Amino acid sequence: MTTTPTFAGARRASNQVSVQLYTVREALADDVAGTVARLAELGFASVEPFGELALSDELAAALAAHGIAAPTMHQSFVGSDDDALDALFAAAAARGTRTVIDPFTPPERWRTREDVEAVAAELAAAAAVAARHGVRVGYHNHAHELQSDLDGTTAFEVLAQRLADVAPEVVLEVDTYWVAVGGHDPVALLRRLGEQVVAVHLKDGPATADVLDQVALGQGTLPVADIVAAAPQALRVIELDDSRGDRFAAVADGLAFLREKGLA
């Protein structure tokens, strides 16, 4: 029997707007289908899954039921062997995800140029395997890649430069909030990185390391509209790592803010 996706709820957001499912991880742990339905009601047409959930049949069915795409996902793959990479990218491709992003490598991997070049080499190796499945790979930053200064250049930008030289097919997802926490201007960074950036994480708050300080877009100190303008080509992924308030409400308010600014 064929079922028709349901699209009830608020006006659908642009396909250029997504939400990182880590934001609503507790709700997903309790009820995948119901949580996806709530996001559909808000108007999301795209999400960014993470971890084992991203590759689950349960999530795939819930997304299909509401016509929601997953153009990107987060998976830890840097340094994995070819067999593990092959299985991961085959599974991602089967679910329609064409960009798989590694969300984190530890601070000790960003202390020297040699460290960063090793990360770039592992991303390049993963990209070669991913290409066999029609998938590309990317990297997502936290604060430590920006806090590491290598002869006047952030380690994150050293990575970007190295990738441009040896693996231009590898892309970047810039978490603009963690850039600010790391002491740098996310707008200026995005302008420097240019087309290497295919997605941005949009968060707001006082740019402190305490994730509980994060708030809905438009309610903090980050220049969200300027950030989007600095990378107009990038997928706009709403995320809160945590918050003192209700994260579902913050996601809804964030999407409303983007719509009000003509960015969704």
Q: What is the CATH number of the domain that holds 107?
A: 3.20.20.150
Over the stretch 26-61, which tens digit does the pLDDT of each residue have? Answer: 999 999 999 999 999 999 999 999 999 999 999 999
On whether residue 12 sits in a domain, the answer given is: no
Longest dimension (CA), the chain: 62
Give the model's confidence band at 9: pLDDT under 50 very low, under 70 low, under 90 confident, else very high: low
Tell me if 9 is assigned to some domain: no
Q: Do 146 and 178 touch, CB atoms closer than 8 A?
A: yes
Q: Does residue 5 lie within any of the structural domains?
A: no
10 part of a folded domain? no
Cα 234 to Cα 44: distance, rounded to the nearest angstrom? 16
CB 210 within 8 A of CB 172: no
pTM for the full predicted model: 0.95
CB 175 within 8 A of CB 197: no
In the sheet that 17-19 helps form, which strands lie side by side, from edge to edge?
17-19, 235-238, 197-202, 171-175, 136-140, 99-102, 72-74
Q: Which domain holds residue 180?
A: 17-260
Q: Is residue 117 part of a domain?
A: yes
In a domain, 3, yes or no: no
- Averaged pLDDT score across all residues of the chain: 97
Residue 206 is assigned to a structural domain of this protein: yes
Question: Per the structure, how many domains does the chain have?
Answer: 1
Q: Which helix (H) or strand (E) is 164 found in, with range? A: helix 155-166
Confidence of residue 13 (pLDDT cuts 50, 70, 90): confident
Q: Is residue 96 part of a domain?
A: yes
